[in-house]
Amino acid sequence: MTSNDEKLQKVGEAIDRLCAIEITGRGVVGDLYAAARARQEGPLCLSVAQKLIERVQPGDVVVIATGLPTYPWFSGEQDGPVGAGTLARALVLALAARPVIVTEAIHLEMCRAAVRGAGLYPRGIDEALRLPTTAAVVAFPTDWTEAGREADRLQERLRPKALIAIERPGANDHGHYHSAGGFRLTDHCAKVDVLFERARAQGIVTVGIGDGGNELGCAMIRETVHQAVPRGVRCQCPCGGSVVPAAVTDHLIVAAISNWGAYGVEAALALLLDRREILHSRDVDRRVHEWCAQAEANNDGPGLLDPGTDAVPVEIHGDMVELLGFMVASGIDFGRLYKEPRYPWLAV
């Protein structure tokens, strides 16, 4: 391993740690992160960014699945759609990818708002595949049979190179979807698990980003979720099962808030490609949150239509982006230190 590689690993480590700091004090993310890390090689966000750079060529589709119907409104939150919007922007800037956001019909409007806030045109598939700086936003069926047909159709049409789920519930062994608190969400959820399972079987890279154990990707750390998350092992709905989805992904990123996992991937892409602008700015972050809230995505926790996620207000998310941005910029500088010192008067 060269010095630059070691430095990259260290910055990647710092990105992971920052994204997994549990500022709301829920007390579960430390265990979930450690379990995810024990089962995968290298820092989580950096590994995913490396895989995306390896697999995604200009014009290739990356599917981003998001949307979590929150109890008791059964309408979405900003955790997920916001990260889907900002990650879509980063994938366009970094890789000239064609992002396709897949969600419930009830969450189309908030996902379109997030995409628009992130500076991309929200479009249907045909237009999005043809035009740059777009992201397709498409509804996926809540019915299992229709979902199977739609998965085949999308696979054929999109030929995606990667699938990423952000704060996306998945069906447990009894076929039921749950909130982190164990409430049943089954009837309201798009059955995108099918899309992930089929893609994975074909060798397409699949990534889950979660913060509570009930999201796609968390099957990798099932036992830890059962031990660490209240209601993790037994839901509050009549199925009496685990909140952990049955479907498995190749990668799992655990963050304190799922959007922060998406931010971490953006930061790692920026670091690897030596371009700070790939990670979105504080201004973009605020705009995405605000427009998403305006489209009735709530700040889950208080359940208010204020900009924010998991009871963390939008300013703090902006701070997170600033911190990550600084780490990326320093990381890039450190990387260059071996070629051309930033402060030549210190080089003796």
Point out which residues bind Zn ion (CB under 5 A).
176, 235, 237, 239
Smaller CB distance to Zn ion: residue 239 or 305?
239
Minimum distance from residue 239 beta carbon to Zn ion (Å)? 3
Q: Tell me the C-alpha distance between 141 and 247, whole Å.
A: 17
Smaller CB distance to Zn ion: residue 126 or 173?
173
Smaller CB distance to Zn ion: residue 59 or 175?
175
Minimum distance from residue 183 beta carbon to Zn ion (Å)? 8
Residue 123's SS3 state is strand
162 within 8 A of 52, measured Cβ to Cβ:
yes
Smaller CB distance to Zn ion: residue 139 or 239?
239
319 within 8 A of 312, measured Cβ to Cβ:
no
Minimum distance from residue 232 beta carbon to Zn ion (Å)? 12
Smaller CB distance to Zn ion: residue 53 or 239?
239
Minimum distance from residue 231 beta carbon to Zn ion (Å)? 10
Helix, strand and coil percent figures for the chain, each rounded to 5: 50, 15, 35
Smaller CB distance to Zn ion: residue 176 or 191?
176
Minimum distance from residue 153 beta carbon to Zn ion (Å)? 30
* Parallel, antiparallel or unpaired: strands 205-210 and 162-166: parallel
Minimum distance from residue 184 beta carbon to Zn ion (Å)? 5
Minimum distance from residue 209 beta carbon to Zn ion (Å)? 22
Residue 78's SS3 state is coil
CA nearest to 125, candidates 106, 138, 110, 109:
138
Q: Give the ranges where the chain is alpha helix by DSSP (H).
A: 3-19, 29-38, 44-55, 81-95, 108-117, 125-130, 144-158, 193-201, 222-228, 258-273, 282-294, 314-336
Smaller CB distance to Zn ion: residue 143 or 173?
173
Q: Tell me the C-alpha distance between 189 and 139, whole Å.
A: 11
CA nearest to 206, candidates 42, 36, 48:
48
Q: Tell me the C-alpha distance between 70 and 179, whole Å.
A: 7
